[in-house]
Structure 1
Amino acid sequence: MQEMFHPENPIETMLNDAFGYDRHQAADGGISQPLDSNEISNEAHREDTDDFHDFLKDGSETLHEGSKYTKLEFLIKLYHIKVYCGLSDKAMTMILDLLRDAFEDAKLPLSFYEAKKTISKLGLDYIKIPACPNNCMLYWEGDSELEVCKHCGTSKWNPNKKKKQAAKVLRYFPLKPRLQRLFMCGKTSEHMRWHASGNNADGLMRHPRDGEAWKTFDQTHSGFASDPRNIRLGLTSDGFNPFGTMSTTYSIWPVFLIPYNLPPWMCMKHTSFILSMIIPGKHMPGNNIDVYLQSLVKELRELWNDGVETFDSSLNENFRMHAALMWTISDFPGLGILSGWNTHTGFACLTCNFDTELCRIRHSKKWCFMGHRRFLRRNHRFRLNRVRFNGSTEERNPPLKLSGSAILRQIEEGRGAGLNCTGKRSRRATKQWNKRSIFFELPYWKSNLLRHNLDFMHIEKNICDNIIYTLLHDKSKSKDNINARKDLREIGIRRDLWLDDSGKYHLAVFSLMTDNKKKLDTKKLFITTLKNIKVPDGYSSNISSCVDLVQKKIFGLKSHDCHIILEQLLPLVIRNVLPNHVVAVLVDFCSFFIALSSKTLNVSELDKLQERIESTLCHLEILFPPAFFTVMVHLSVHLAGEAKLGGPVHHRNMYPVERELGHFKSFVRNKAQPEGSIAEGYLVEESLTFCSQYIEDIETRFNRPRRVRDEPNVTEPSGTSSLFPQFGKPASASITFPLTDMQKLQAHRYVLLDCAIVMPFVDELRQYIRRSSRRRPSPTEIERRVNKEFVDWFQKRIMNPDTIDTMSIDLKFLARGPSVVARSFTAYNINGSKFRTLAREEGLRTQNSGVFLTSKTSCVASSIDGNLRQVELPYYGKLEDILEINYYGRFKVVLFKCRWADTARDRGYKKDRWNLNCVNFDRLIHTGEREEHEPYIEAYQAQMVYYVDVVVNKGWSVAMHLKPRDLYDMGEEVVEDEVYENEPYQEQELEQFFGDGDEYVQLATDHIIDDVVETNVATN
């Protein structure tokens, strides 16, 4: 057996890791036993060494004579292609038949079933547990022999089947072997200790390990924290329709686990998610989800109390692995299902708990969650302001966040039972605590600081919808309608917004309007700006397709669309169409979400964010009607506090979960058995995901190229010198053309003046100009002469016969200048972005021509100022051409020729009061028409921006910065040219818009509408 083992062979390494063998013992000729086989008895194939020997045999047997593939390697790669590309079983069968027919001597599986059976031995399995059709119980452990539900008396069997077949089946994927494999796999075992070894010198929060919840858990359970290999898990679940059609209400609930030991760039990826169970449909489990979670909670208890013996391949040792569940992630209804808290009442907010003032608005038929003045500091003047708010003062303190022990006492005491907090007349009493969550059976659960996360994604989605449809005064979705106005009258606040006797009312200041009499159509300006927005490829979906210019409506916005609108687009589309005080409040609201969604968070900044959101919500209460304040708007006040506990929100939101659910829909090939299709599809994908970590010469989920492939072409060297290393790669065909004298001079001059080895010669020329001038030249004159004379002077200086032998070859080629023959491209990938020329993107719905860089520019304060200063100036441009100039094979340089706005003067660039970068492309500089112009930059200097045209100010655009996808700033090194991001919009001094007094803020305009017809009638 010894000769079969070659540790450098990736397939044999994979087999050792898959079957849990110590590869070093195996290499010495001995086959060790699987790790604690009693604890993984549900994985029969891992106990059976015969399978291991069979795989070793297939791994050493060639596919056919002379083939470079072994039988096993070829099968794994072929099956990987099937799974990765989504081929059907029928297609795979036909491919195998064709290969056997073409290569008669090849040792291929006789059928697809045989291939599947072989691959399944490399993976893990799942367990089928029958369940009561009414979600009352599981037929497992001591109840496995029962045939009738002991709670409702319903039969276990499907009455429509002749044979005994369970009516409902839970598919459970055992957790222990899947966690063990994370350490047995040499590709992931070292990463499982990252959270303890990763550097965090600057104290910023980048991972859940940096949050208070993680740190407190370690302090409370020091024994668990003593071994960094013990696993912290997050649980997430949501229902989805497996058929992808809204005409059916079928709902399946997968439950996933997330291993948070992994670093930020791994733990939320598709390949790191662990499927725990598939809760069957067709109806959602509701509060009975705990019935299905029993199997998982039992295993989690065992992992906490006893652990499981595991082999760590990175340290080549056995250890006892323990695991703990940190928190759950779900949408808001899911939070209620998992926690047992009723989220459909006036006490919907679990964080505020019963310390909530019930407010039912009768005409709107919903609960209102206002009263955010209680979160302000005790001496804030808003607390005593009656006029602007609800007519009363606010003396309450913020609600206290309850511990797990306090919640358990509430449940045990039955608090909340029988409360009439639904706002409806009901024959049965309403419970606020519907159940005691099964997670409290975990010994540590009640001591966790953060148990159930608020979902950032759905909160953003609901808030964006509230704002957009209220601004547009959408009749079906606006929170400011006739019922909202009736509620204002009933509450007795904001008299100027009440209905008059005829049922008409004044439009509010926050509503966009169409006033033909005044020739004012702010609604059209808003809709048109949003319709015309073009964003870079891959940045978001085509939001303009959701905009109807004719009906002036927006429809079909997805969660990510709302994320982009709320954080990026909303402030710039409302800035010219709404009053300043309304814009200021909404911009501040958007700024809060921008800051909170950052991949790095500062704890001190989170404290400031908390104060800002408290103030912002109070100002929103001054402007918007009570109907606007749904529970999702209220929940934003708790987001900053949760971020302090749990770390950055992108580790705790539903975006990756929703992507997983969408992926699961592709597994449903048999619509009669969607749960079974998903389970089988996941098992195969899980096996191949594990195997693909050991495959390097085929595209997998681990090595697949990024969306923007900007790695240089190794087959096309940039030259024989390393002076100009190659950055990026062309993304289009090239055109060879001759450079004009002007193009050659401008491009060559920029290359010289941006080259480090040339800088001493630039300083030498400056000194020569100072010495040779009859009068003392000003700094501006010196720079002008350097720019004009340097190319010719440099050539003479280097080629001087007296000193030429002392010059390097690179300097000689630089002095010679580039060849007159150059190449031009229309697209180029660099710095994680795809750049396209203006001509290339004509007719496209995307915009990839925006260029930004900061450059040190020599300037003086005035014409009489003699002190030359180096100032970092921002430059904004639009890409016109992409050139590659060739220095006769010594090196090649890629340059971007841009149309540059005049950012040195207010006529071309300014920051408005909302901190937006406004650029005027009617005011250009360096157009390339004159010799001294500098229209070129080197490609590596370019960062991508996109521009949003300002409809009311012709020629002006707002520049929006981007950050490349999958870029993580881990604070380990200082980067000189940092990536520019959109700064959160400047914190607004809201008092300057609302005044320091306590007088009422006028909210009504002179535009009168009724519920059916808009009448452009002005009143005195």
Structure 2
Amino acid sequence: MWIVTVQKKTDGNTGDEEIEGLPAKVLWYFPIIPKFKRLFAIKEDAKNLTWQENGRKVDKFLRHPVNSPQWKRIDEKFPEFGIESRNLRIGLATDDMNPYGNLTYGNLSRYSVKGHYACPICEENTSYTQLKHWKKIAYTRHRKFLVRSHPYRRLKKTFNGCKEDEIASTPRNGEQVYERVKNINIVFGKTQKKSIEKNIWKKRSIFFNLPYWCKLDVRHCIDVMHVEKNVCDNVIETLLNIKGKTKGGVKARQDLVDMGIRSELHIQFIGKCTYLPPSCHTLSKNEKKSFCECLCNVKVPQGYSSNVKSLVFMQDLKLIGLKSHNCHVLMQQFLPVIIRNILPFSIRVAITRLCLFFNAICKKVTDTLKLDELENEAITILCQLEMYFPPSFFDIMVHLIVHLVREIQLCGPIYLRWMYPVERYMKIFKGYVKNQYRPEASIVERLARRPNNDVITFGGYDINKYCFYTKIEDDKSRVQNSGVTIQAESVHFASSKDKNLITTSMSYFRVIQDIWEIAYVTFRLPLLKCERVDGNTGVWTNDLGFTLVDLNKVGYKVEPFIMAYQVRKNFYVRDPCNEKWSVVLEGRTMHETHEDESLDMHETPSFSSTSFCAIADNEVDEMHAIRSDHDEGIW
């Protein structure tokens, strides 16, 4: 509570007296040390708090920040702290901490995250273009992050009309940043004369008072959740040409004229009308309809995401009300499927690679040997997007993609640093209840007891954190819970010429027709009766790694039953290229009721089995931004 000084007359005299006034804001402080003591008082929690010393795997994979260079560096610089496994390392989550309308990152780091040098990692070396008509700043020229010999550096017409000879700068570490900010003179108050010298660092952050702060290479992490949402919004709004949101409208074309690039896309005046020739990302009306209809027809497993159909507004052919998790699911699963039969091949591949990249960096276990390849992939994707999208597409959030892998290398997996757990914990504070936990049946005793001859059948069943429906129930529901996959090992000849036997793992795709529950004396065993897709004629994988199935080709009818614990959840999305086929996407488990576990953000499986290197880069110096397969420009 604030103490307010007021003017008050006493016996005819005017004097200042401190009295209690109404508080403008109230700050509640919950002591953290007693909370830590209570954690160590519980045996299971105490074991988890020292997991990094006693329970972790030691290999080449990044599973936790303990595997990261930044964690190890603190251990080296402060050995007395690092040697005690019970010492805790905490992070400060600042999601929704946005006082006075400023950006949270700038408030805490004291870096100016607005203007020409908005990237806190590139700093003065941020490449920017002030767009006259768009009246915003574009952050482009990502070719400077490529190696010197990369062919993209020599291309002109494909990009901004110039070769790229500049080399990206090396990010500053904590000690170098501290040298820049330690002598900044701060003058408080509007009436005080302020320094004429401009500095992208507004002041020295109070966190530098901590003895270890300048030893950190990454002091403020980029939130991948918000980056992914903003990138998804840019892509969707530009593809569907949503009024007031698209990055490819009239002002964007006027900026192309001023920059003297992509003359084929310059505005044309036909009579009293203004015509924008179709760019490579301009969808025809039929393509927009296909885009929206494909998303409308998606039925996901229960607990997978919100109702996707509710996001589609068919009347205006646009998406509305996209939340962070909607964008996460779109980027990591649905978008590559939706665009399979629309857009030119080159831009379709670029967007697919972007989705694959986000899926790769969100993995909970990362191979450190592949991080350099992943970083090069991010740079290549941004360069390809520059080929196809206008400069106005590249706001600061799109640019930050180039730095995401660096933070994985230094700090560990993203899932422990993004804002999904924080936002979900806020829901707990608001009183939302999670799904009820259902214990698993004991499978060990199933062979020792004889089952009851009476069988109970179900239309839906929850087990192993999965929810299963029969196909009949699926057809009546807005979700899809009847698709399952079973992984099985089979022995066969290596080839027609090589008769050596080899063991391989194969996936069998099924649709649940009935659910049985067999009652034993002490437990119940659920069985799924399924139709199985013929693996010879009903399953194939295309050149981009999509697995497609023909659900009408049923085989292996002799053994229709499988045990529920053996299967993985998947669902099928109708292929927009051929309605006879369906794209297979992997499902995931529902949240449990334990509050701590419900905060976790489930890892989203990849929609494709194709690696980055299997997709060829376009290295021809030609114009890629124009579209020639239809003439439906924008009026």
The CA distance in 1 between the partners of 2:371 and 2:233, in whole Å, is 25
The CA distance in 1 between the partners of 2:382 and 2:227, in whole Å, is 14
Tell me the CA shift for residue 708 of structure 1. Answer: 5.5
1:530 aligns to what? 295
1:534-573 to 2 correspondences below 5 Å? 534-573=299-338
1:655 lines up with 2:409 in the alignment = no
Tell me the CA shift for residue 901 of structure 1. Answer: 1.2
1:177 is paired with a residue whose SS is helix
The CA distance in 2 between the partners of 1:891 and 1:963, in whole Å, is 26
Tell me the CA shift for residue 827 of structure 1. Answer: 2.3
2:2 is paired with a residue whose SS is strand
1:484 aligns to what? 252
Cα–Cα, structure 1 residues 638 and 993, in superposed 2: closer, same or farther, change >3 Å?
A: closer
Tell me the CA shift for residue 722 of structure 1. Answer: 2.6
Structure 2 counterpart of 1:987, from 611, 619, 631: 611
Cα–Cα, structure 1 residues 500 and 939, in superposed 2: closer, same or farther, change >3 Å?
A: same
1:196-207 to 2 correspondences below 5 Å? 196-207=53-64
Tell me the CA shift for residue 883 of structure 1. Answer: 2.7
Tell me the CA shift for residue 858 of structure 1. Answer: 5.9
1:508 aligns to what? 279
Q: Could you tell me whether the CA contact under 8 Å between 1:364 and 1:487 is conserved in 2?
A: yes
One-letter code of the match for 1:504?
A: Y
1:945 aligns to what? 570
- 1:580-619 Cα offsets, whole Å, 9 max, x none, are 1111111111111101111111111222110111111111
1:338 aligns to what? 108
- 1:656-703 Cα offsets, whole Å, 9 max, x none, are 222233444569xxxxxxxxxxxxxxxxxxxxxxxxxxxxxxxxx9xx
1:176 aligns to what? 33
Larger RCO (CA under 8 A, 6+ residues apart)? 2
One-letter code of the match for 2:611?
A: E
Cα–Cα, structure 1 residues 819 and 442, in superposed 2: closer, same or farther, change >3 Å?
A: closer
Q: Could you tell me whether the CA contact under 8 Å between 2:240 and 2:283 is conserved in 1?
A: yes
Structure 2 counterpart of 1:935, from 560, 578, 601: 560
1:432-511 to 2 correspondences below 5 Å? 432-502=200-270, 503-511=274-282
Q: Could you tell me whether the CA contact under 8 Å between 1:157 and 1:166 is conserved in 2?
A: no
- 1:708-738 Cα offsets, whole Å, 9 max, x none, are 52422x8xxx8xx93538xxxxxxxxxxxxx
1:896 aligns to what? 528
1:826-845 to 2 correspondences below 5 Å? 826-845=459-478
1:956-967 to 2 correspondences below 5 Å? 956-964=581-589
1:601 aligns to what? 366
Tell me the CA shift for residue 174 of structure 1. Answer: 2.8
2:445 aligns to what? 722
1:925 aligns to what? 555
Cα–Cα, structure 1 residues 861 and 185, in superposed 2: closer, same or farther, change >3 Å?
A: closer
Structure 2 counterpart of 1:709, from 438, 442, 445: 438
1:681-760 to 2 correspondences below 5 Å? 707=436, 709-712=438-441, 722-724=445-447
1:395 lines up with 2:165 in the alignment = yes
- 1:70-106 Cα offsets, whole Å, 9 max, x none, are xxxxxxxxxxxxxxxxxxxxxxxxxxxxxxxxxxxxx
Q: Could you tell me whether the CA contact under 8 Å between 2:510 and 2:533 is conserved in 1?
A: yes
1:1000 aligns to what? 623
1:478 is paired with a residue whose SS is coil
2:482 aligns to what? 849
The CA distance in 2 between the partners of 1:566 and 1:893, in whole Å, is 38
2:80 aligns to what? 223
The CA distance in 1 between the partners of 2:309 and 2:225, in whole Å, is 21
Q: Could you tell me whether the CA contact under 8 Å between 2:375 and 2:406 is conserved in 1?
A: yes
Cα–Cα, structure 1 residues 222 and 900, in superposed 2: closer, same or farther, change >3 Å?
A: same
Tell me the CA shift for residue 377 of structure 1. Answer: 1.1
2:377 is paired with a residue whose SS is helix
- 1:274-304 Cα offsets, whole Å, 9 max, x none, are xxxxxxxxx92567xxxxxxxxxxxxxxxxx
Structure 1 counterpart of 2:539, from 905, 909, 913: 909
Q: Could you tell me whether the CA contact under 8 Å between 1:131 and 1:168 is conserved in 2?
A: no
Q: Could you tell me whether the CA contact under 8 Å between 2:278 and 2:633 is conserved in 1?
A: no
Q: Could you tell me whether the CA contact under 8 Å between 1:591 and 1:985 is conserved in 2?
A: no
Q: Could you tell me whether the CA contact under 8 Å between 1:370 and 1:629 is conserved in 2?
A: yes
2:582 is paired with a residue whose SS is strand
- 1:809-853 Cα offsets, whole Å, 9 max, x none, are x9xx8xxxx887533222233333111111223321111100111
The CA distance in 1 between the partners of 2:185 and 2:276, in whole Å, is 43
1:48-127 to 2 correspondences below 5 Å? none
One-letter code of the match for 2:532?
A: W
1:130 lines up with 2:6 in the alignment = no
Tell me the CA shift for residue 893 of structure 1. Answer: 5.5
Q: Could you tell me whether the CA contact under 8 Å between 2:60 and 2:369 is conserved in 1?
A: no
Cα–Cα, structure 1 residues 917 and 599, in superposed 2: closer, same or farther, change >3 Å?
A: same
1:630 aligns to what? 395
Q: Could you tell me whether the CA contact under 8 Å between 1:576 and 1:952 is conserved in 2?
A: yes
Tell me the CA shift for residue 631 of structure 1. Answer: 0.5
Tell me the CA shift for residue 442 of structure 1. Answer: 1.1
One-letter code of the match for 1:722?
A: E
Cα–Cα, structure 1 residues 990 and 939, in superposed 2: closer, same or farther, change >3 Å?
A: closer
* % identical equivalent positions: 34
The CA distance in 2 between the partners of 1:633 and 1:157, in whole Å, is 52
Give the TM-score normalised by structure 1. 0.55
Aligned length: 607
One-letter code of the match for 2:587?
A: L
Cα–Cα, structure 1 residues 640 and 992, in superposed 2: closer, same or farther, change >3 Å?
A: closer
Tell me the CA shift for residue 868 of structure 1. Answer: 7.5
1:350 lines up with 2:120 in the alignment = yes
Cα–Cα, structure 1 residues 375 and 147, in superposed 2: closer, same or farther, change >3 Å?
A: farther
Cα–Cα, structure 1 residues 904 and 710, in superposed 2: closer, same or farther, change >3 Å?
A: farther
Q: Could you tell me whether the CA contact under 8 Å between 2:304 and 2:590 is conserved in 1?
A: no
One-letter code of the match for 2:136?
A: K
Give the TM-score normalised by structure 2. 0.87
One-letter code of the match for 1:982?
A: S
- 1:633-666 Cα offsets, whole Å, 9 max, x none, are 0101111110111111111111122223344456
Larger radius of gyration: 1
Cα–Cα, structure 1 residues 825 and 1004, in superposed 2: closer, same or farther, change >3 Å?
A: closer
The CA distance in 1 between the partners of 2:221 and 2:227, in whole Å, is 12
Tell me the CA shift for residue 550 of structure 1. Answer: 2.1
1:174-323 to 2 correspondences below 5 Å? 174-239=31-96, 253=97, 284-285=99-100
- 1:733-755 Cα offsets, whole Å, 9 max, x none, are xxxxxxxxxxxxxxxxxxxxxxx
The CA distance in 1 between the partners of 2:3 and 2:341, in whole Å, is 59
2:398 is paired with a residue whose SS is helix
The CA distance in 2 between the partners of 1:213 and 1:147, in whole Å, is 51
1:245 aligns to what? none
- 1:944-984 Cα offsets, whole Å, 9 max, x none, are 101111233122111111343579xxxxxxxxxxx994365
Q: Could you tell me whether the CA contact under 8 Å between 1:724 and 1:893 is conserved in 2?
A: no
The CA distance in 2 between the partners of 1:156 and 1:347, in whole Å, is 47
Tell me the CA shift for residue 501 of structure 1. Answer: 3.6
One-letter code of the match for 2:606?
A: N
1:406 aligns to what? 176
Tell me the CA shift for residue 939 of structure 1. Answer: 2.6
- 1:81-138 Cα offsets, whole Å, 9 max, x none, are xxxxxxxxxxxxxxxxxxxxxxxxxxxxxxxxxxxxxxxxxxxxxxxx5388xxxxxx
1:779-858 to 2 correspondences below 5 Å? 821-857=454-490
